[in-house]
Chains A and B, each alone.
Chain A
Amino acid sequence: MGKITLSQVRKSFGEVDVISGIDLDIEDGEFVVFVGPSGCGKSTLLRLIAGLEDTTSGSMQIDGQEATHLPPAKRGLAMVFQSYALYPHMTVRKNIAFPLKMAGMTADEQAKKVAHAANILNLTDYLDRRPGQLSGGQRQRVAIGRAIVREPAAFLFDEPLSNLDAALRVTMRQEISELHQSLKTTMIYVTHDQVEAMTMADKIVVLNAGRIEQVGSPLELYHSPRNLFVAGFIGSPKMNLISGAEAAKYNCATLGVRPEHIGVGAGDGHWQGVVGLSEHLGSDSFFKVSVDGIGTINVRANGELNVRAGDRIHLSPDLEKLHRFDAEGLALK
């Protein structure tokens, strides 16, 4: 079981509120991603749940039990750190067995559980090596192994992939997702990378300046962002945000159009502009178009499109998929 409930959790360092009053329900077996720009308090929130930081006020329940002031070891949570935090003087085997040893388990049981975890994570051949002799991805797996053997109520991941190269990141991302499918344990995952958030999460929590901006499934956030911040943060490339006279035509302060919701044509378009930069990836084409009277608009087109820098093109936004925001930045229905 791994149901975690936060109510009005607040954390301040001196005068500064890092986390200002957060309410959040995390259901058992959910994969929850905390995402937000750096300094938004997502890591602090994870550390509050882990018990590595004390909450300033508010309360927290794990599986219905009051956990606000429990020490980290008593919460039944396991954490994978950004730096992996492996113990460098211990072999992989001892690293993975460490939490079991601390729990006073017999050597036989330890060996059985370590073998099981190593089997799941393909670490069997590396059990007698030290962390210094492993590659980044293998260290990552050892850190996950150390978390798995404890059979925790929930796993906490603190930007676990940020030290890996791009290709390995994709592989590890899939491995963690598969692990979640097979273990069905609650996972809380912190990242600043919205692609990781979109691909892995059941539920995304978008944080900004210590506040929750929106909670929802990846597609909910994509299709109906609650405010400008979420609209700009979720989606890649970023949503075009247009203000001024053009937005006023649609009765809003800011108009949002996703780059993939703009059609490109040679004539009779809604907007006209000159292509400033064009990137052709084969599967997709990206254009930076400076549109008359509006400014720069990013456009994404499927497949190859024979448009080069300097060409004058017509753009027609999909009127069904426009996002409208009022002067406060909140979405208009």
Chain B
Amino acid sequence: MATQSSRSAARLMLSPTVILLLVWMIVPLAMTLWFSLKRYNLLYPDRTGFNDFGNYTRFVLSPAFGGAVVNTLILVVGVLVITVVLGILIALLIDQPIWGQGIVRILVISPFFIMPPVAALIWKNMFMNPTNGLFAEAAKLLGMAPIDFLGQAPLASIILIVAWQWLPFATLILLTALQSLSSEELEAAEMDGAGAIQRFWYIMLPHLARAITVVVLIQTIFLLGIFGEILVTTNGGPGTASTTLPYLIYKEALLDFDVGTAAAGGVVAVILANIVAFFLMRAIGKNLDA
């Protein structure tokens, strides 16, 4: 990429891809913005025309909105905390030379290969079901009353399910980061008098900082859009106890058939996601600088 001609050639070669990606992004965004400003309800096809910001005010002022934003944040933060903490612990564990290491590693990453609705249904019906789930059986065996997980603690249960699915991802990235730590560095710390916990705190954790940042950023992107698990387990309920922003938008569009409000909700969600991204990058983005 040194000379003038090679630079312009590079631009020319890249342009089809860049233009395609741009169109792919701009058209849906423009249509969403367009719909979000219009009266567009499939149940009332006669009501048309511009609604100014009526869709936005209706979405934001609806009683479910505040709770949905809070639920979304709790879901994201909860899953992040569980996956990062447990991910580090499991990575430390399976980094040790143990018998059957290969099989253990495959078992550890396998939840990531199960499609989200399937995983959620397995948890719902086989583990958390209050009459014939495994947890209920275990509770009865111990002489306690079975807990109706999805009825009594719907959001916590969904966090558990989603964390179970994303744990392999975090573990895998943290494990590779851990393996790139030079053994001489740990030995030097050992000679310097650092015990196991001090070696973890002063040597391993700083070394993992960048990997943890990557895990947090990538997972946040995906966790903000968690939808399938909620749909198949609680349907956002009971009441709105487990309704998140994506689920609320889905409800507007496909249960209330209000395309205009759903589009406005989508735009609001994009704005909120960007606010989250802004603070996230300010908080931990410096870890990505070399």
Please indicate whether A and B come from the same complex rather than being unrelated chains: yes
B→A interface (CB under 8 Å): 182, 184-185, 187-195, 198, 202-203, 206-207, 209
Residues in A whose Cβ lies below 8 Å from that of B195: 73
Select A89's contact among B189, B191, B207, beta carbons within 8 Å: B207
Inter-subunit contact A52/B192 (CB<8 Å): no
Inter-subunit contact A52/B189 (CB<8 Å): no
Inter-subunit contact B191/A79 (CB<8 Å): yes
Inter-subunit contact B194/A78 (CB<8 Å): no
Inter-subunit contact A150/B192 (CB<8 Å): yes
Residues in B whose Cβ lies below 8 Å from that of A11: none
Q: With the chains together, A51 CA to B193 CA distance in Å? A: 12
Minimum CB distance partner of A158 in chain B: B184
Inter-subunit contact A98/B187 (CB<8 Å): no
Given contacts A52-B187, A79-B188, A98-B202, contact A85 B182 (CB under 8 A): yes
For window 29-59 of chain A, which residues contact chain B by CB distance below 8 Å?
50-52
Minimum CB distance partner of B210 in chain A: A89
* 28 A-B interface contacts by CB (under 8 A): A71-B190, A73-B190, A73-B193, A73-B195, A77-B191, A79-B188, A79-B191, A81-B184, A81-B187, A81-B188, A82-B184, A83-B182, A83-B184, A85-B182, A85-B184, A85-B185, A85-B188, A86-B185, A87-B202, A87-B203, A88-B207, A98-B189, A98-B202, A99-B193, A103-B193, A146-B188, A146-B192, A150-B192
Per CB-CB distance, the 6 closest pairs between chain A and chain B, nearest first, are A85-B188, A99-B192, A102-B193, A85-B184, A73-B193, A89-B206
A60-84: contact bitstring with B at CB < 8 Å (1 yes, 0 no)?
0000000000011100011101110
Residues in A whose Cβ lies below 8 Å from that of B189: 87, 98
Inter-subunit contact A50/B184 (CB<8 Å): no
Q: With the chains together, A78 CA to B130 CA distance in Å? A: 60
Q: How far apart are A96's CB and chain B's nearest CB, in angstroms?
A: 10
Q: With the chains together, A277 CA to B182 CA distance in Å? A: 45
Residues in B whose Cβ lies below 8 Å from that of A81: 184, 187-188
Q: Say whether chain B's binding surface is mostly helix, strand, loop, or mixed.
A: helix
Q: With the chains together, A71 CA to B209 CA distance in Å? A: 29
Minimum CB distance partner of A79 in chain B: B191
Q: With the chains together, A172 CA to B185 CA distance in Å? A: 22
Residues in A whose Cβ lies below 8 Å from that of B188: 79, 81, 85-87, 146
Q: Give the A interface residue count (CB, 8 A).
A: 24
Inter-subunit contact A52/B206 (CB<8 Å): no
Residues in A whose Cβ lies below 8 Å from that of B202: 87, 98
Inter-subunit contact B185/A72 (CB<8 Å): no
Inter-subunit contact B191/A50 (CB<8 Å): yes
Q: How far apart are A2's CB and chain B's nearest CB, in angstroms?
A: 15
Residues in A whose Cβ lies below 8 Å from that of B193: 73, 99, 102-103
Minimum CB distance partner of A104 in chain B: B193
A98-131: contact bitstring with B at CB < 8 Å (1 yes, 0 no)?
1100110000000000000000000000000000
Residues in A whose Cβ lies below 8 Å from that of B182: 83, 85
Minimum CB distance partner of A78 in chain B: B191
Given contacts A81-B184, A85-B184, contact A72 B198 (CB under 8 A): no
Q: With the chains together, A73 CA to B195 CA distance in Å? A: 9
- Listed residue (B191, B194, B195, B202) with the most chain A CB atoms within 10 angstroms of its CB: B191
Q: How far apart are B196's CB and chain A's nearest CB, in angstroms?
A: 11
Inter-subunit contact B190/A52 (CB<8 Å): yes
Minimum CB distance partner of A75 in chain B: B191
Q: With the chains together, A51 CA to B209 CA distance in Å? A: 30
Inter-subunit contact A102/B198 (CB<8 Å): yes
Minimum CB distance partner of A99 in chain B: B192
Q: With the chains together, A103 CA to B188 CA distance in Å? A: 14
Inter-subunit contact B184/A73 (CB<8 Å): no
Residues in B whose Cβ lies below 8 Å from that of A82: 184
Residues in A whose Cβ lies below 8 Å from that of B191: 50-52, 72-73, 77-79
